[in-house]
Amino acid sequence: MLLPGHLLVSYFFVDHVSRKIKKRKLFIITTLIFSILPDIDILFVGGIARHHQTLTHAPLFWILVFILFNLLALALNSAFIKTISFGILIGAISHMILDTFGMSIGLSWLAPFSWKDYSFLPLNFEYAGNNWWQHYVRSTAFIIEALVTTTIIVKRLSEGY
């Protein structure tokens, strides 16, 4: 999934589940940041084809970050840090789920114990080569992503956002 899809789907989800959270804006902002942050590895691995093979795309890594932030929140008795910890978890895990269902090389859900990739719509980068994006925009996954994105935008506009 591409950046706009990660942001919009995460926003749509978190907007609905966060209505009773006291620090709602902080939770939404943190979730949105961490819904795209796992893709920062693109800058360090030399391109999109290998970026799912790093710790930023390992769910266990984000679960550990969540636990550490929760322990810090507990030690400091901080609702602010606790809100951030849940934003981190929801944002990062939503990214992992979307990368598994979207057209990609897949995601190693069991990393670092196993780097086997899981994907419902695998993208073969050897086939796609340097023009992976041309292959992607012709795919079923891209059509689904475009429809979901459009639906979310239209729904928000119709609600007066």
pLDDT in tens, 80-112: 999 999 999 999 999 998 888 765 667 888 888
Categorise residue 77: left if φ over 0, alpha if ψ from -120 to 50, beta otherwise: left
Within the chain, which residues score under 50 in pLDDT?
Answer: 128
Helix (H) or strand (E) holding 152: helix 140-158
The pTM is what? Answer: 0.78
Runs of H (alpha helix) within 3-103: 3-17, 24-36, 42-45, 59-76, 79-101
Per-residue pLDDT at 23: 92
* β-bridge mates for residue 103, sequence order: 121
CB 83 within 8 Å of CB 24: no
Per-residue pLDDT at 47: 65
